[in-house]
């Protein structure tokens, strides 16, 4: 029996971890980035040219932290933001500051064809309505380029609760999801777009006798 989580259950667990147990958000972001670094470094992916597509929320923050780790490892990694960076969460700005201090500057436009691996850090569990048209176009181009894509936490475009495709979704070879498998990865489009789902512990703490509504 594998525990699955809905986004509201995950929110309670995140709050418990950060508010009650006082684990800083930056620690979770760092451990999330390290978890993805470990998975893609295990030999099944060609890391000769990695493109990180980062969104404006914490999924993007995970991606920026990962790009910095790969850069420090000497990997040829490009970091491209999707959306207006001025509207990004503080967590993203903070990770970008660290990355720039480490010598990684963001690219404006990246060449999907050149990338041997694309990291999908655009939207995670926070996607709450249909993907904007412009981004849908870019995602279809990325799917068409037929690169290897590794999704951080949830493939962009997939509802973490229902597995529904919200306009368009990025097809992942693997999805590295944190703490627990999200319900949306096990059904509908979520199952199809997630590829191999790898659950990684990043130090999320779960309250005693927490009630999970779903399992598989």
Ligand X SMILES: NC(=O)C1=CN([C@@H]2O[C@H](COP(=O)(O)OP(=O)(O)OC[C@H]3O[C@@H](n4cnc5c(N)ncnc54)[C@H](O)[C@@H]3O)[C@@H](O)[C@H]2O)[C@H](O)CC1
Contact residues for ligand X (CB under 6 A)? 10, 14, 28-29, 32, 55-62, 89, 123-132, 152-154, 178-179, 204
* Residue with Cβ nearer ligand X (28 or 115): 28
What one-character-per-residue DSSP string does the chain give?
--EEE-HHHHHHHHHIIIIIS---HHHHHHHHHHHHHHHHTTSSS--SSEEEEE-SSHHHHHHHHHHHHHHHTT--EEEEE-S-GGGS-HHHHHHHHHHHHTT---BSS--TTT-SEEEEES-STT--SPPPHHHHHHHHHHHHTT-EEEEESS-TTB-TTT--B-S--PPPSEEEEESSEEGGGSSHHHHHHH-EEEEE-------TTPPPSEE-
* 84 is annotated as contributing to ligand binding: no
Pairing of strands 214-215, 3-5: antiparallel
* Residue with Cβ nearer ligand X (32 or 96): 32
CB of 141 to ligand X, least distance (A): 18
* Residue with Cβ nearer ligand X (48 or 134): 134
Window of 45-53, 59-67, 82-90, 105-113 that interacts with K ion by CB under 5 A: 59-67
* 60 is annotated as contributing to ligand binding: yes
- The structure tokens 């627990």 sit at 180
CB of 92 to ligand X, least distance (A): 9
* 120 is annotated as contributing to ligand binding: yes
* Residue with Cβ nearer ligand X (124 or 190): 124
Site for K ion in 105-144 (CB under 5 A): 120, 124
Q: Is 151 in the site for K ion (CB under 5 A)?
A: yes
Q: Is 152 in the site for K ion (CB under 5 A)?
A: yes
Residue 151 binds which of K ion, ligand X, none (CB < 5-8 A, kind-dependent)? K ion
| Binding region | 58-62, 120, 124-130, 153, 156
């Amino acid at each position: 029996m594998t525990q699955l989580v809905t986004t509201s259950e995950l929110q309670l667990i995140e709050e418990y971890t950060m508010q009650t147990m006082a684990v800083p958000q930056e620690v979770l972001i760092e451990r999330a980035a390290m978890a993805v670094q470990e998975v893609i470094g295990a030999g099944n992916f060609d890391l000769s040219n990695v493109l990180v597509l980062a969104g404006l929320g914490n999924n993007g923050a995970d991606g920026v932290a990962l790009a910095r780790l790969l850069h420090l490892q000497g990997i040829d990694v490009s970091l491209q933001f999707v959306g207006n960076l001025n509207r990004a969460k503080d967590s993203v700005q903070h990770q970008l500051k660290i990355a720039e201090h480490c010598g990684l500057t963001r690219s404006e436009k990246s060449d999907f064809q050149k990338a041997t691996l694309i990291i999908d850090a655009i939207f995670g569990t926070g996607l709450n309505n249909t993907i904007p048209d412009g981004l849908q176009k870019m995602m279809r181009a990325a799917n068409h380029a037929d690169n290897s894509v590794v999704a951080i936490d949830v493939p962009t475009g997939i509802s973490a609760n229902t597995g529904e495709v919200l306009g368009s979704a990025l097809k992942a070879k693997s999805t590295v999801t944190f703490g627990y498998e999200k319900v949306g990865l096990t059904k509908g489009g979520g199952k199809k777009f997630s590829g191999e789902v790898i659950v990684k512990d990043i130090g999320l703490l779960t309250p005693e006798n927490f009630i999970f509504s779903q399992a598989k």
